[in-house]
Amino acid sequence: MGATFLVCHGAWSAGWAWKKMHPLMTAAGHRLVTPSYTGLGERAHLANPSIDLETHIQDILNVIKYEDLRDIVLIGHSYGGMVATGVADRARDQVNQLIYLDAFVPEEGQCLLDFLNAFERQRMLQLAKSGDGWRVPPNPTPPDTPPADVEWLAPRRVDMPLKCFERPLKLHGGELTLPRSYIYATRVSPVDAFGPFAARARSDSNWRYFEIDASHSPHVTAPEALMALLEKVVAERG
């Protein structure tokens, strides 16, 4: 019996970015569910200034409810770590493990901007202000992204509502106790926003820690390696 993987995708991205993983998951006997948040991907026409982290948590909770998902392996990639933490908090009976893929790991009351250095934080705020006040344009793709992938990604990545980065996480059920794993992509950017989370997971016996030789979006640049690693994470848990 395969696992059900549910993805909380990263910023500026959407479910479409996990396209390469679907055939690999199917071949391995698993189910991969990759919904898009409100205002992103095929739901970009719904973008508006009021969308925030809470909106995206509700998006995923509704997928769990209406698709009647059970025994979920929840993956949070990048910004999706913020979303996945909120989802795992409120769907404790449905989520059996949580995998952070080069992702932010927030605690109660923290927002994504809290994890950026002062320069990066100001840069994002200025980008939003220089437009219509609430949209943050995409960060560049990692330099090792193949040209064909850049051509596929670039026209599909859209601006993020600023409130997604400003809204603090609210935990309803206290600290998470479910099994958690961290996958650190070792081809880091100069900013290396995820190094501190990786270091914490590596030194904490409550976490399982893994590394992948890839840049920030292995589902795009290293799908086979990511599939093999996700199989390992799930098998060891079993």
**Is residue 111 within 8 Å of 86, Cβ to Cβ?**
no
Residue 71 pLDDT greater than 70, yes or no? yes
**Residues with catalytic annotation?**
78
Give CA separation, 160 vs 106, 134, 182, 223, in Å: 19, 8, 25, 25
- pLDDT surpasses 70 at 49: yes
Predicted confidence band of residue 212 (pLDDT cuts 50, 70, 90)? very high
Q: Taking 80 as the threshold, does the pLDDT of residue 238 lie above it?
A: no
Please provide the average confidence, as pLDDT, over all residues in the chain: 96
* Structural domains for the chain: 4-237 (3.40.50.1820)
- Written as one letter, the residue type at 220 is V
Instruction: Give the contacts of 70 (CB within 8 A, at least 6 positions apart).
Output: 4, 94
Per the CB < 8 A criterion, the answer to whether 208 and 181 are in contact is yes
Tokens found for residue 136 = 């943050």
pTM exceeds 0.95: yes
Q: Which residue has the higher pLDDT, 1 or 164?
A: 164
Say if residue 219's pLDDT is above 90.
Answer: yes
Is the distance from CB of 136 to CB of 160 less than 8 angstroms? yes
**pLDDT confidence of residue 60:** 98
Which range among 10-24, 67-81, 131-145, 149-163 shows the weakest confidence by mean pLDDT? 131-145
